[in-house]
Structure 1
Amino acid sequence: MLLRNLLCLTLGCVTTSAFADTVWLKNGDRLTGKVKVLDGGKLMLDTDYGGSIPLDWKKVATLESETPMLVRQDDFEDPQLANSLHKGDDGKVVLGTAEAPKTIELASIQQMIQPKPLIQDFTWSGNIDLALDYKRADTDTDDYNVAFKTKARHGLWRHNGDGEYNRESSDGVTTTNNYQLEYALDRFFTEQWFWQGRVDYKNDKIEDLARQRTLGTGPGYQFWDNELGAFSLTSLVNRTDYEYSNGNKDNFYSLALKWEYNRYLIGKTVEIFTNGEIGKPLSGVAEYALDSEAGLRYKVTDWASLNLKAEKDIVSGNSDGELNETRYTVGFGVGW
C-alpha cells in the first residue's frame, strides 16, 4: 500500500512538472498543460490528455506559466520578456519581469512566443511529404512525389538536409523521373549571422539536363527563428557541373541567393512556406537558374498534416537545352 502511494505521488509530481501551466476559461473551466504560443487569436496548450489544444484567446479569463515568454502588445513595439506569467483578475495576467511584476489586460496581448537563445541543446525537426495520384481512364497516369526536409541544431552549428523524388508515367511510359539531395552546414557567429557550406546533387532520367552537381559557400543572415517560424537569406559562390543527356558537359561558377521562409498561423495549425535559390552564372553558360517551391500545410494531428505545394525549376538561356517546369502536388505528411 505504501509502495503504491509513493508510486502515485512520484507519477503525479512528474506529470505536474511536465505540464505545470494552467489556463482558466471564462466559462469556469480550468485546463492544465504547457503553454506553447499565442498567435492569430489562438493559444496553443500542450496536454498529456488531448495533445495540442488550440484555445480561443477571447475565451481565456487568465493563466499562469513558468515558461519565459516574449509578450507583444503592439505591432510597432518590441516584445517584453516575461520570466513567468501569474494568475490575475478575470481578463488580466501578471507578467513576472526583471524589474517588477506588471499587470496587463489579456485583450492587449497580440502575441506570445518562447524566446530562443543563441546557444541551445540539441534540437531536431523536420517533415516528410508524400503525394500520390492514380488515374484510370482512356489514359492511365501514375504520379509519385516524396520530399523530406530536416534540421538539427547544436550550439553554434546547424545541419540542414532535404531531398525529393518525382516520378510520373502515362500508359506505362515514364514521363518524369528525377531526384534531388542537398546537405548544408551552418556555423553561427552571432544570433543572426552564419556561414554556410553546402553540396547539392540532382539527377534526371528524362530531361536533357541529366545531372547537376553544386558546391557552394557563403554568408547568411537569420532574420528570425522562433516558435512561429523562421526566415533566412544566404548568398553563395557556387561551383556547378552540368551533364546533359547527349554527353555534353559544362563547368562554371555562379553567384546565388538562397532563401528559406516558413510561418505558422492560427495557433500553429496552418504553416505557409517557401524556399529556393536563384543563381547567375559568371560565364555565358546560361542567363540564370531558378529552383523554388511554395506551399502550405494544415495540421490534422500533432504529427500529421495535409500539404499543397507548387514547384518551379528554370534554366534559361542555355545553348544545350533550356528547362522550364512547374509542378503542383497535394498530399499527406508527417512532422516532428
Structure 2
Amino acid sequence: MKRIIHSLRVAPAAVALASGLLAGSALAADEIILKNGSRILGTVTGVRDGVVTVDTEFAGTLKVQQDQVESLTSSEPIVLKLADGTVVEEPALRIEDETLLLASAEAPVATYPLTELAVSNPQPWELGYGYRWKGQVSMALELQRGNSDTDELDYSVESVWRSLQDRYTVRLDGENDEANDVKNAENWTALGKYDRFIEGPLYWGVNASAEHDKFADLDLRYYVGPYIGRQFHERPLLTLSAEVGGVYVNEDYIVAEDQDYMGMNWSVDATSNYISDESQLYLKHTGIWNLDQAEDVILNLTMGLAFPLLFNIEGAAEILLEYDSGLPPEVDKLDQTYRFRVGYSW
C-alpha cells in the first residue's frame, strides 16, 4: 500500500529512500515531453525550485523549467514533497497533460496540478529531521610595499542552520588596515539571530548585535530586540525577505557622550541567480531609527556579485555603505568600502 505521510511525521524509511536516491542511481530511460513538442531522453535526477534536472548522453546535464513540461515518465523509485508539505513515496515519477499522477495498487490514481510538486527526493531536514547547515568564510587581503606601506585585511564569517521549524544565523565581519605602520581602520560587527517559522511565509525572531569602530569614535554599540518577518519569495531566481521590530540600543563612545535608547529595527535580504545558475547577486540592508531623536538613524547596505572560482571557493565584488547620523561632527557620517574577496562556502 502506498504511504502518504506529512513531513513532520515522515517515516524513517522515507528519509533513507530520499538519502539513497540523492546519492545517485543507474541510468534509466526516462522521457520528458515539453509543451513545444521537444522530447528529452535521459535520467531525471531531481525536481527542485521549479526546475527539472535530467542527465542525458547527448548534452550532459539539462535543466528544464517545470512549467514547460507536458509529460514525464521515470523508472526509478522516488520521494515527492508537495507544496502543502505532504510527502509521498512513489515507484516512479509520472506526469501527463501537466498533471502529477500518484499511483496506488489499492485505490484510484490521485492527481495533482504539476505546480503542487515542490521537490523530489527531499533532504532529511526537509522531511523534519535535523538542520541544513550553510555558511561561508571569506577575506580580502592587500599588501603594498614601496613609497607607501599598506596592509589591509577584511574578513567575514557566516553560518546558518535551518530546519522546518526554525533558523539560527551567526555572522561576523571585520576590517583592520594600516598605512606606514599607522592603523587607520579597526572595526568589527557581530550578529546573532533566531527565527521561528509560523504558518505560511511569516516568522518571528530575536536578534542581537555588537559593533566596534575605533576610528568612528565607537567603542561599543550593542542592540537586542524582537521582530516579525516575511519570506516574500524563495526561489533561486529571487529570494526576498524583510523584517521589522523594536530594539534596545546602547552606545559607548570613546570621546563623545554615551547614550541608550529604544529604536525601530528593520532589514531586507535578497539574492538572485539572474545572471547565471552559478553566480549570485545579493543585497543586505539593515536600519535602526532612534525613537527618542527622530533625526538619528543608522543605515547599512551591502551589494555584490558572488561567483564560483574552483570547487567551493568563490570570489565576490561588493560595495558596503554605512551611514550613522548620530556620529560626532568631526567624524564622517558615511563610510564607503569597495572590495573584492575570496572565500569558501558550503
| TM-score, with structure 1 as normaliser | 0.71
- What SS does structure 2 have at the residue aligned with 1:206? helix
Aligned counterpart in structure 1 of residue 335 of structure 2, from 325, 330, 336: 325
Aligned-partner Cα distance in 2 for 1:28–1:322: 60
Alignment partner of 2:322 out of 313, 328, 331: 313
Residue in structure 2 matched with residue 55 of structure 1 by the alignment? 62
| Separation (CA, whole Å) in 2 of partners of 1:335 and 1:310 | 20
Letter in 2 for 1:126: G
Equivalent-residue separation in structure 1 for 2:95 and 2:224 (angstroms): 54
Instruction: After superposing the two structures, state which structure 1 stretch, 232-241 or 242-251, moved more.
Output: 242-251
Residues 285/187 of structure 1: CA separation in 2 closer, same or farther (3 Å cut): same
CA drift of 1:298 comes to 0.7
Which of 19, 23, 42 in structure 1 is aligned with 2:24? 19
- Length, aligned pairs only: 295
Cα gap change, 1:311 to 1:120, in 2 (>3 Å): farther
Q: Write the distance in 2 (CA, Å) between the matches of 1:147 and 1:307.
A: 12
Whether the 8 Å contact between 1:141 and 1:170 is mirrored in structure 2 is yes
Which TM-score applies when normalising by structure 2?
0.70
Quick check: 18-27 or 170-179, which moved more?
A: 18-27
Contact 1:224–1:232, Cα closer than 8 Å, also in 2: yes
DSSP 3-state at the match of 1:163? strand
Q: Is this contact kept in 1: 2:271–2:282, CA < 8 A?
A: yes
Whole-angstrom distance in 1 between the partners of 2:194 and 2:287: 19
Whole-angstrom distance in 2 between the partners of 1:45 and 1:129: 33
2:204 corresponds to 1:189: no
Q: Which amino acid in the other structure matches residue 262 of structure 2? A: Y
Matching residue of 1:242: 251
Is the CA contact (8 Å cut-off) linking 1:113 and 1:226 kept in structure 2? no
Structure 2 stretches of 5 or more lacking a match? 1-18, 33-37, 103-108
SS of the residue 1:300 aligns to: strand
Q: Distance in 2 between matches of 1:17 and 1:188?
A: 26
CA offsets per residue over residues 52-86 of structure 1, 9 Å max, x none?
A: x863659x997747354789xxxxxxxxx998644
Corresponding position of 2:119 = 114
| Structure-2 change in CA distance of 1:187 and 1:67 (3 Å) | same
Judge conservation of contact 2:256–2:328 (CA < 8 Å) in 1: no
The answer as to whether partners of 1:36 and 1:45 remain within 8 angstroms in 2 is no
Greater alpha carbon shift after TM alignment, 280-289 vs 314-323:
314-323
CA distance in 1, matches of 2:237, 2:156: 22
Q: Partners of 1:281 and 1:270 in 2: how far apart? A: 37
Give me the whole-angstrom Cα distance separating, in 2, the residues matched to 1:335 and 1:203: 26
Q: Judging changes above 3 Å, is the alpha-carbon distance between structure 1 residues 277 and 224 closer, same or farther for their aligned structure 2 residues?
A: same
- Give 3-state SS (helix, strand or coil) of 2:215's partner: coil
Q: What residue is the counterpart of 1:8 in the other structure?
A: none
**Conserved? CA contact 1:289–1:315, under 8 Å:** yes
1:297 is matched with which residue? 306
CA contact (8 A) 1:85 1:93 kept: no
In structure 1, the gaps of 5 or more residues are 1-13, 47-52, 72-80
The letter of the residue matching 2:297 is Y
How many Å separate the matches in 1 of 2:189 and 2:82?
A: 38
**Residue by residue, what CA displacement relative to the aligned partner does 1:299-326 show, whole Å, maximum 9, x if unpaired?**
2345221111211111115556553101
Residue 137 of structure 1: CA displacement?
3.5
Residue 146 of structure 1: how far off its partner (Å): 1.0
Q: Shift of the alpha carbon at 1:224?
A: 3.0
